[in-house]
Every structure is written in C-alpha cells, then in structure tokens.
C-alpha cells in the first residue's frame, strides 16, 4: 500500500482500505491523522498494520491516531501502536493518540502507553 502525503490544506485524503467504517486518513499540519471507528480487535489487526505501515513508510511528519469513535480495543491494537511508536521514534517522528474514550484509555493505561495520549485528554478524565 502506498500512502502519499497531501498538502496540509487538503483535508480528507481518502477512505483507506476495504473497511471504511474503521479508518480514514487525514493530513494535519505536517503530519497524518489516522481516524479509527468502532471496534479495533484482532480481526482488524492485519488491515491496521497495513495502514500504519503505509503512514510510517511515507516518512513525513508525526502520526496521530484518533480514537474518539472507538468503542473497543484489544491487545492486538496495543501491539500495533507499540511497534508503530518504536518505528517512528527511529526516524525522530512521534506517535500520538487523540481522544480515546474510557475503555481504550484504560487499556492504554494497563499497558503503560498513556504517554502517547494528548495531554488534554488526560486532564479531562
């Protein structure tokens, strides 16, 4: 999968993949936002890996994963995030998690990944 970095003002880039209710890719500033929806479990892992691999491979800017509309995540999702974080850090890029609802935030807490969450989300909790 090839993911190309659009101009920052481009807004929505495209529906990504075959399960449009789960993923949409946006540009924001110099980075990319991956918007996830619904339940992100082991069945979504292969597709999520392809999306994140493409975003990381583009080599441009930081990556934000928006979880505002995610109702469930499991350990497969956490593993993808942890690997993505390590790969981005090697390129001096950053992974941020935006707007996790209560359950995804709790899962991130359990696995020690709250440092990825945008600060305003932690304050609102």
**What is the residue whose two structure tokens read 């505002």?**
68
Measured between alpha carbons, how far is 18 from 96 in angstroms, rounded to an integer? Answer: 24
Per-residue pLDDT tens over the stretch 45-86: 998 999 999 999 988 899 999 999 999 999 999 999 999 999
123: alpha, beta or left? (left if phi > 0; alpha if psi -120 to 50):
alpha
Within the chain, how many helices (H) and strands (E) appear? 4, 5
Helix or strand holding residue 98 (H, E)? strand 95-98
pTM strictly above 0.85: no
């Amino acid at each position: 999968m090839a993911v190309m970095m659009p101009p920052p003002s481009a807004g929505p880039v495209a529906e990504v993949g075959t399960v449009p209710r789960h993923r949409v890719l946006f540009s924001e500033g110099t980075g990319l936002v991956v918007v996830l929806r619904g339940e992100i479990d082991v069945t979504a892992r292969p597709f999520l890996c392809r999306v994140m691999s493409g975003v990381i491979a583009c080599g441009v800017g930081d990556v934000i994963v928006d979880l505002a509309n995610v109702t469930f995540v499991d350990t497969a999702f956490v593993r993808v995030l942890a690997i993505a974080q390590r790969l981005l850090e090697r390129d001096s890029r950053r992974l941020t998690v935006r707007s996790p609802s209560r359950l995804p935030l709790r899962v991130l807490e359990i696995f020690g990944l709250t440092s990825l969450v945008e600060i305003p989300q932690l304050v609102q909790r």
